[in-house]
Amino acid sequence: MNLSPELMVLMTILVPAFAVIPIIAANRYPNLREGITITASLMLIYLVSSLYTFTRDGGSVTLVSPDLIPGLSLSFEIEPLGMIFSLVASYLWLVTTVYAVGYMRGHHEQNQTRFYSCFAIAIASVMGIAYADNLFTLFIFYEILTFSTYPLVTHAGTVKAKQGGRVYLGILLTTSILFLLLAIIGTWVTAGRMDFVAGGVFNENNSPLVTGTLLVLFIFGIGKAAIMPFHRWLPAAMVAPTPVSALLHAVAVVKAGVFTVLKVCVYIFGLDLLKTLPTTDILLYLAAATVIIASIIAMRQDNLKARLAYSTVSQLGYITIGALLATSAGALGGAMHIAMHAFGKITLFFCAGAIMVASHKTEISQMRGLGRQMPITMVAFFIGSLSIIGLPPTGGTWSKWYLMIGAIDSEKWLIMIVLMVSSLLNIAYLLPIPIRAFLVDNEDGQKSEVKIKEAPLLSLLAISVTALGCIVLFFYTQPLFELALSFLEAAGVPYGG
């Protein structure tokens, strides 16, 4: 089948969106419903991989709709940062679906059809965000992502779930309407354009005060990046089932946030302008504070998913720091961390869900000695932890390395210290979990008879794949590194590393 690149771009959005119809129609036939979801995810992987090959070989793809209103159209273009995001999201959609089949059935979840259909809409919106070529297009799909994931957050239908959903929707809509939309309109008025341009859209005639204010509006308006104090939606959303947490924390939502931060900083402002703005350093140190404060809060959480949620808030701060350092190495590290964090964090959340399904334990204090019963799960948790910490032999090592170089290049020594201290805090709140699971006896202090009781096979398969991905990204990081370098080249930022 010979498809034009432009048609493939359109199909990356339409395939998951149109899969919703047969998913809903197959409500009474779980095997068929989940088969449709997996088929759609495989088709998306084929499309995104084909686009990656085409653009890697020098091809370019642009798709523009007729004007919706004068001067405003939906516009899409493949560029390397968007390709990183779309590759991560498409591959992890398949893995998360496989995991969800085992988890949702093993946990006897209700409303599974709603889960799969909303997940598909969310992935369609992610493709729209990844390939958006102007702020208007990005904003439309950014909001679709918010609304499509709200039913997933409130999936359980309990009072706590509904309350978490209100916090989730309230913060994300408030930040996007009050700040992000205002920033987009301000950019259009100030620069006269909203498309993503190498070097940024502003010029020397624009007031530093105005552009600095717009930067603040963008950073606070991109609520999905969870910078403090607009981070509470992320811990509130932990009431959702584990596959939803994986979607929120690794596949789609938070990655849409930090992807947007990177894209706005590099293509709307440009790194040269960022260095001169009066508000850049203020936001940079706010992101650094987010990294440290969220890590300290994570250490105090006994609930495993709560600890992982605050860990995500902290890790997102790394990518925001990478953008605001306004150096090529910082942007490179931020782009790579999108993929590295995705594989590390999805592994940890998969393990948390597996522990709950197999042992019905949710508190870390209950997990002593669990490694003997769930060896595969806890080994995977150990590998995911190493990647989040940034230790070999896992992929997180490389992204944190380039972030450190970015801090050194910009002579932001406090940021360098923050990155180092944060890694130590990562060790303190992550590594004791698998260590105690393997080396400490049960709660009563007695060694019980070892009885292997792992999660359902499909969930275990997904956990193994993502854990292996963490290691593969350490030894075979060249394709991701080259994509990140291409991102800098497309943005007109020379890299001297």
Q: Taking residues 81-88, what's their average pLDDT?
A: 94
CB of 386 within 8 A of CB of 320?
A: no
Q: What is the pLDDT of residues 264-310, one digit of tens each?
A: 999 999 999 999 998 999 999 999 999 999 999 999 999 998 899 99
CB of 149 within 8 A of CB of 118?
A: yes
Q: Quote the CA–CA distance of 249 and 156 in Å, as a whole number.
A: 18
Q: Phi first, then psi: give them for residue 443, nearest 5 degrees.
A: -60, -30
**Does position 395 have pLDDT exceeding 90, yes or no?**
yes
* H-state helical runs in 57-158: 80-106, 112-131, 135-153
Q: Find the angle CA(207)-CA(208)-CA(211) to the nearest 5 degrees.
A: 85
Determine the pLDDT at residue 441: 65
Q: Which of 69-73, 132-136, 239-243, 371-375 has the highest mean pLDDT?
A: 132-136
Instruction: Show the tokens assigned to 168.
Output: 């989730």
Q: Is 132 helix (H, G, I), strand (E, B) or coil?
A: strand
Q: What is the pLDDT of residues 192-245, one digit of tens each?
A: 889 999 888 988 788 889 999 999 999 999 999 889 998 898 888 877 777 777
Instruction: Show the tokens assigned to 92.
Output: 């992890």
pTM: 0.94
